[in-house]
Chains A and B, each alone.
Chain A
């Protein structure tokens, strides 16, 4: 059992979509199966995205190279926000950009919107050039622009993710989203890259052990809510992320294969938790963190 920011008691582990893995306007009935809908990353200006080929399945996951295709902040506010707020789920907006100012501009603009309950800061898209500033600097810029909760989405591709977690929390992040995809590459039979941009973000089942390690490391380092994600396909996968410290769980690649995954995973999660003696799956939170009781 946990509590949301208003202090209300909520049973179970909230389920979200991973940003960029669901278009709630194209599939509202899928979005309504989630507790929280997270938008595809919004950047200040519209972005065309990367040229196709953009996706490639591999043996144990998939690569994507979408490149933050999106309508830009103005179009998002003018044409999408009202319809998203009518969905009936909690709404988080994923914020992206290429400078601290980009993050500040978007957070300030959306800070006025009551429908938006939190921001997820995409500090780690594998398909665009690295932001020139550090994750902590971007969080600080966003923090100065909004009082809404900020979740920092971190890349698993770093030597000491716990240090990053401490840094972003010190700058005002209220929570963490762990993990983004990790950069990967696949070749075709002629040994040419299968994606037009060669590299892409690797997701799916292969990401799960990496996500577990990252959540485990960060849960030991900071005491904030953690959205766990990476290769979740079953309720047991979700329970494992909770056990290493996640307080909610996001579904990504599994939604592509199974639009009804949230309902199934919620049921499986309750069953798997009960089998292990937990009345509420959230009671398992942190059980696997080294040093915890």
Chain B
């Protein structure tokens, strides 16, 4: 697997979130929905982040500074370096005919890169407040709803191929409405490469590791392998 120390080149506020941009080094950006493990300075464990933006020579991550690890990463200043490993996991299957991107809160994080790969597909984004909704500026062609309106209330009658990321209640609601949706989940994760068994989700009666089987899973379950390439393990650095 590929793991490198990368230099921070930018740190910008986006509403309550922080967009941290790193030099890309030799890491590949991977498929939208795949994730990276970022060292959280001063903490025991790294933190998982899906890729938000992949400008030339850079990797961009949208950070919601809600805990000690995410706060440490959000506080990184240009010039500082952190260890980054990835890309890990399975991202979205991009071979879809009528993509509709759906995001909630910090779940919009992987959508800018996904939108870029899908040629600016339409998006529906939901946020708690207008302050949080500033992140919608990162996603082109987005319809934005604020609480108490929910993204599921803004979905068209025939939503097409839904690719979504957001809080679990939102993903549950989408799964009910759109059984074929591809949903990017989140779970506490110590390692990101299948070692810790911490990130499991229930799937077909068993606990599967989200870092290997996901983080993008088909809403209807069962169809493992539908969502993007299997994780690759490259030579040890």
Chain A interface residues (CB < 8 Å from chain B): 20-23, 26-30, 32-33, 40, 48-49, 51-58, 60-62, 64, 66, 69, 204-205, 253, 255-260, 263
> Is B196 within 8 A of A21, CB to CB?
yes
7 A-B residue contacts at CB 8 Å? A22-B195, A48-B207, A49-B200, A54-B200, A62-B45, A257-B191, A260-B3
Least Cβ–Cβ distance between B221 and chain A, in angstroms: 16
> Is B44 within 8 A of A205, CB to CB?
yes
Q: Which residues of B contact A253 (CB under 8 A)?
A: 44-45, 190
A20, B191: Cα distance in complex, Å: 12
B 179-202 to A, binary, CB cutoff 8 A, 1 in contact else 0? 000000001111101111111110
> Is B194 within 8 A of A26, CB to CB?
yes
A253, B85: Cα distance in complex, Å: 16
A66, B234: Cα distance in complex, Å: 27
Q: Which residues of A contact B201 (CB under 8 A)?
A: 52
Q: In this complex, what residue of B is CB-closest to A25?
A: B194
Q: Which residues of A contact B237 (CB under 8 A)?
A: 260
Q: In this complex, what residue of B is CB-closest to A194?
A: B188
> Is B44 within 8 A of A259, CB to CB?
no
Name which of B189, B197, B198, B200 has the most chain A CB atoms within 10 A of its CB: B197
Least Cβ–Cβ distance between B36 and chain A, in angstroms: 13
Which of A26, A57, A258 interacts with B212 by CB under 8 Å?
Answer: A26
Which of B46, B188, B212 interacts with A257 by CB under 8 Å?
Answer: B46
Given contacts A21-B196, A49-B200, contact A29 B190 (CB under 8 A): no
* Closest 9 pairs (CB-CB, A-B): A26-B194, A55-B198, A256-B191, A256-B190, A29-B236, A23-B194, A66-B197, A54-B198, A57-B45
Q: Is the interface of B mostly helix, strand, loop or mixed?
A: loop
How many B residues touch the partner, as a band? Answer: 20 to 34
> Is B196 within 8 A of A64, CB to CB?
yes
Q: Which residues of B contact A33 (CB under 8 A)?
A: 236
A205, B85: Cα distance in complex, Å: 22
> Is B233 within 8 A of A28, CB to CB?
yes
Q: Which residues of A contact B95 (CB under 8 A)?
A: none
> Is B200 within 8 A of A259, CB to CB?
no
Least Cβ–Cβ distance between B223 and chain A, in angstroms: 21
> Is A20 within 8 A of B44, CB to CB?
no
Which of A23, A57, A60, A259 interacts with B236 by CB under 8 Å?
Answer: A259
> Is A256 within 8 A of B196, CB to CB?
yes
Least Cβ–Cβ distance between A35 and chain B, in angstroms: 15
Least Cβ–Cβ distance between A145 and chain B, in angstroms: 27
Least Cβ–Cβ distance between B231 and chain A, in angstroms: 8
Given contacts A57-B44, A60-B44, contact A52 B187 (CB under 8 A): yes
A26, B208: Cα distance in complex, Å: 13
> Is B200 within 8 A of A56, CB to CB?
no
Q: In this complex, what residue of B is CB-closest to A69?
A: B197
